Amino acid sequence: MNIEKEPNRYFKNFLDENEKILWIGKPSPIPYSLSAVLFQIVGLLWFFIALPMLFQIESLSDFCFYILYLIPFWSSCFVSYASYKNINHVHYAYSRRRIFIKEGLGANYTIIEFSKIIDIESSSNLIENKYQTGSILIYSGKKNSKGEREFDVLHSIENPIDVFVDLKRMKANAL
């Protein structure tokens, strides 16, 4: 995506005096929303498998058990709704020094200095391939509670190879 008319709209408070946004983007709506499709399919299958139980409910405790038994279905509904509502609140940008990620309905920002980045990877699933988008995975040393690498991700962006090459070049220049 090209730089918008107001590229600093979301990130202006984080820029240094002479720092300029070189690229700004956001996820492509269809691949971003469909990324949870497997989870949605499992939720629907779970619902249809549990549907016959609905007609065997005889007491309030049976009904409560049925509602709890459908947690995978309720979870898939929530994930679908959340990804749909979240799409307008996800923005990415980078300057010569840093990568900026804004996600979520609140003001959840991640700022990654190029000098801190250890690895940058490009990834594309079947849905992203169909829509000519891809994701960029950025590893800056974070680990989860199991000690596994934790990536910051630019999800379902347009022209992922161009962005990937540009980020690799910026990382090399920061060393």
**What pLDDT is attached to residue 2?**
45
Residue 127 token pair: 């849905």
**So what's the pLDDT on residue 23?**
93
For the chain, how big is the Rg over CA atoms in Å? Answer: 20
> Would the pTM count as exceeding 0.85?
no
Cα–Cα distance between 86 and 65 in angstroms, integer? 31
Give the whole-angstrom CA distance, residue 165 versus residue 171: 10
pLDDT tens across the length of the chain (175 residues):
444 545 457 888 889 889 999 999 999 988 888 777 777 888 889 889 888 888 888 888 888 888 898 998 888 888 878 877 788 889 999 999 999 999 877 778 999 999 999 999 999 988 899 999 999 999 999 999 999 999 999 999 999 999 999 999 999 988 7
Q: CATH classification of 12-25+94-174, choosing from 2.30.29.30, 2.40.30.10, 3.60.21.10, 3.40.309.10? A: 2.30.29.30
Q: How far is the C-alpha of 20 from the C-alpha of 12, rounded, in Å?
A: 9
- Residue-level pLDDT at 1: 43
Q: What is the 3-state secondary structure (H, E, C) of 119-173?
A: EEEEECCHHHHHCCEEEEEEECCCECCCCCECCEEEEEEECHHHHHHHHHHHHHH
- Edge-to-edge order in the sheet of strand 23-25: 23-25, 91-94, 98-103, 108-113
Beta strands in 28-150 (DSSP E): 91-94, 98-103, 108-113, 119-123, 133-139
Nearest to 126 by CA among 153, 151, 156, 150: 156
